[in-house]
Structure 1
């Protein structure tokens, strides 16, 4: 409530709270002191305090997006060992971090055996997207299907799909570990159809695309899903040894 009688400082405090200018509230005294010490003009002072608020809000948004993404680890592409996986096109992977594929509503599929760095790569892309203020969700394929099944039983599947449609980048890890029945297969198909040419999807899998009939109930079902998934898609194959096996061999 606005005070009836107040000092200048009390009004400033009240107004900043009322307008929800939290970062400005925490820093305006310092900015005033800097303006006095450096003889900064009114326009420059206004510019500086606006930057304080804008930068603070941007930082908080990125932090919220990072938390909401539910990454298992926080990794960057700079920490990826391209010297170990020499089969990978380093420039192509780094180009994904420009997020041009996201602007074009394209998908990415990374195919390779366990331990070759698929999850590291897609996590680093997701983190970069969060830094660019995009909404991201990282989930294992098994967890996603279980969640959809729970919502289906509660009659809330449409609500879940609506929530997922607001995600700019959905990352589904380890798709090859699924074995779907008709009901779960239908939910996966609906999800991919919903995102087709609207929002980007990244999938990692240990199964070549020609073997996706092992995931779905039939070759026909697998083809229906892949038809939409690969239409606007970058497919990256990563053959090679496992980083984890490499580490154990060194220990031995």
Structure 2
């Protein structure tokens, strides 16, 4: 490969093109590709590389607990979970329509897996996603800081096309958590999409937040245009642990 060509690609920051240029030059020579076709190939390589870098940056910004995919989900374990319904959500039309999603069910059914997988699909579809456990979210919103810093924190959560709030009902929340969550839900309502997971029925949210009026107001807005997916079945983690113990005992 011509050194001048490589240097020019570096100056133009065409790292994706540069990474495949040697191979494309060999391909062009062996197949006698027309100049226009060769140029189309190397430019597409650059576009693909930039798209992947954008996805990687957004994955990092999203702060997923783990990168999960729907392909990795064990659909056979709990057949009651409607695969087609979840894949429809992963198409991200609910984000385009600024609707919300609530996944409800006992621990261990895969709610967090599905929520993060939908978030990952949203990123690949070009959206900004942000993941937080409800405990971390409330703690950050209630942290002592200046009004300007608090505004920046809220802006971060308000700008995300999809905000995933995980693990409602898993931990005891601090006092006035309901007020902080209500403020966020009110400001995102019909402007951005929110996906929440809950280990407890919505009838218990008032007790979980220790604030029945705030819980009522949150549910009034959040459920207005939300799709509720009720998940039932056995705990996959408990099943997996028992299976591991059985293998160890054998």
Could you say which TM-score interval applies, normalised by the shorter chain?
0.7 to 0.9
Q: CA RMSD in A?
A: 2.0
Cα distance in structure 2, aligned partners of 1:143 and 1:208: 21
Paired residue total? 242
Match of 2:217 among 218, 224, 238: 224
Q: Point out the more displaced range, 19-28 or 192-201.
A: 19-28
Q: Is 1:148 aligned to residue 141 of structure 2?
A: yes
**Structure 1 residue 50: Cα displacement:** 1.1
Alignment partner, residue 72 of structure 2: 79
Alignment partner, residue 23 of structure 2: 30
Give ranges in structure 1 of 5+ residues lacking alignment.
1-7
Matched-pair contact (CA < 8 Å) for 2:135–2:173: no
Q: Is 1:181 aligned to residue 175 of structure 2?
A: yes
Cα distance in structure 2, aligned partners of 1:140 and 1:202: 11
**Structure 1 residue 13: Cα displacement:** 4.2
Match of 1:19 among 9, 12, 15: 12
Indicate the SS of the match to 2:78: coil
Cα distance in structure 2, aligned partners of 1:27 and 1:93: 37
After superposition, the C-alpha distances for 1:42-75 in whole angstroms (9 at most, x for unaligned) are 2112211210110110111112222222222233
Cα distance in structure 2, aligned partners of 1:75 and 1:191: 26
Alignment partner, residue 243 of structure 1: 236
Matched-pair contact (CA < 8 Å) for 1:178–1:215: yes
| Distance of aligned partners of 1:82 and 1:30 in 2 relative to their CA distance in 1, 3 Å threshold | closer
Match of 1:127 among 110, 113, 120: 120
Indicate the SS of the match to 2:79: coil
Give ranges in structure 2 of 5+ residues lacking alignment.
none
Cα distance in structure 2, aligned partners of 1:130 and 1:228: 25
Alignment partner, residue 114 of structure 1: 107
Matched-pair contact (CA < 8 Å) for 1:65–1:133: no
Cα distance in structure 1, aligned partners of 2:17 and 2:229: 46
Cα distance in structure 2, aligned partners of 1:178 and 1:53: 48
Indicate the SS of the match to 1:153: coil
Match of 1:191 among 184, 207, 222: 184
